[in-house]
Structure 1
Amino acid sequence: KGLEFAHELSMNELAMRPWKTFFDTLVASKAFRDEAWAKEPFVIDAESAAGGAGPGFIAGAFTMADVEQYAPDVPAAYAAQGTRQGDGRGGWYMKRVGAPPADPAAGARFQDVAQSLPQGTVVLNSAGAYVPPLAAVSLACLESFMLPVGLNLYLTAPRMTTSAPPHTDKQDVFVFQTQGRKHWRVFRPPPPANKVGADPLARGKGPDELSFDEMGPPILDLVLCPGQALYVPAGFPHTTDTVGGVAGESSDPSVHLTVGVDTHIWSLNFAALRHIALQRRGEKTTFRFDGADRDINALPQAIHALLQEPLPLGFRSAPLLQPPA
């Protein structure tokens, strides 16, 4: 037993266990696969999904003390701060945290991170690729979904009226609140045809502004507390703050992990599959609708949603499950 325990520690299996159970439970759920995955945001019952491990495996899993310890493991170039143009127009974009280090390979400095927090949310991009405790979370998700994933770490000072302005992401994301509180509002995607030239999976970023007028009322409006988790599909607009709301204000900075499942980035959706199949046959890849060639964003929203739907969960497992010839 002692040798088995030592092996678990060396392989980080002990740290992975509740996370792996959590993700395995979601993937095994027909309701999640059919009704929620890529379709509907929802708050996740972490306690039941982790097989009784309880939300305690999320609360405190990574705090500002851990950020101080592990920040140097993340390349300085990957430490960024969300901001907007000085005139408040346009969308969200990232700027560097701190001055560029003399050594391009240098890690992020916690001092720079702490000094930047009063100005806005700080993101340690791809932290799951560099920080061992976060790598365990990434690996658990990757092994359960059998899809490429990435993990970013988000840090926000308390009482920020805007942590992130309304925007959409290319990833389906799982948000785990590990310290402090954050107020989330999630909205239905606006029809892509309303702004054909904009990427529906990157609205509200760079020069593109996503206004509240383009969206209806939020379909989720909640404050995430330590130990809680949230799922937001790709393309669903969301905005955050740390003012407090129904859960009351917190004096702690907000720390949350965002695990993104990268289906669209790696072209693992039906639109890309269609494009590749037609291209290989030497046929036109344009979209024909109502007798005319159209941009994919100009198609009716229901058709656009079907084309952008990720390939079914488990599609990579199918060849492994086939009986031998």
Structure 2
Amino acid sequence: MQRPLAASLLTALALSLTLALTACSAAPAPEADDIRAPTAPLGVTATAGSASTVHVMWNAATDDRAVSGYAVYREGRKVKDLPAATLMTDVIGLAPATPHTFTVRARDAAGNVSAPSAPVTATTLPARAEDRTPPSAPSALRVAPDGSRAATLRWTPARDDTRVTAYDVYQADTRIHTVPGTATTARLTGLRPGTAYAFTVRARDAAENSSPDSAPADLTTAPAPGAPPNTAPTGLTATAAKGEITLTWTPPRTGAPVTHHELHLNGHFATTIIWGTTPPPDRATYTFPVPDPPGTRYTVTLRAQLPDGTWGDFSAPRTVVVR
């Protein structure tokens, strides 16, 4: 039996709003006895993405309590305030063909601010005539693990009528990394052990036209020492038709039939998929309706109920666009 989805979608949206309001009201109060500033951020890079934008990234700073946020400076003037979980940003509205110098500072809840990072310089690209043609999608994307917390992506370059100026790496439809248009590799850090990931890459040109996504590359990082093996469904595909989405996947091998799966959309529970009879022995298929207008994007993940009643690991995500 397959449960209807529409009410669950509304519940997920309400839950999302509740979580957002809770997060806003639960910010930690400053601690008056904290006088030690965080360390300066390391590994700062700046990459021009167009004639008017520069992408700045850095590694997380450390603090004796906790880092609460970062500030990005251009020529010594603050241009961005960002939360602690954000380690990259686009600085926009810049003049074409102009060099700019960037630094990053960390701050804690008590208001202590780190020294500036080492400065990095990037020169915006020259202005060009109007360009509305996006690059082709990068191809042959592949990923290799580097321990349990890092990975390296490699791909075949995209093509463009002018030139590719940057490649953006996405995980679960969220951009997590950017490299120059001359690069065909990207090293990702900060991954979690024993976790299934799906990465895609988009090419971008000087006019900020982005290509379609590359085909996804899946990776399940090695588990932490002593941790059980990963129990995620594998081989997930998501295909959109008018008003519906069809999923196919291979359930995990648990030693017993897998009769229940949880479907999550955009990180929130949507519905439970239940087989009232014998579940599929190999590939499973499930189709559900979507009331959203064409062009709506969903990130889909699944997890299976294990023989002991607990829920297993999440599958690598898939992004699908409603038709």
TM value normalised by structure 1 = 0.25
Higher helix fraction (1 or 2): 1
Greater C-alpha Rg: 2
RCO higher in 1 or 2 (8 Å CA, sep ≥ 6)? Answer: 1
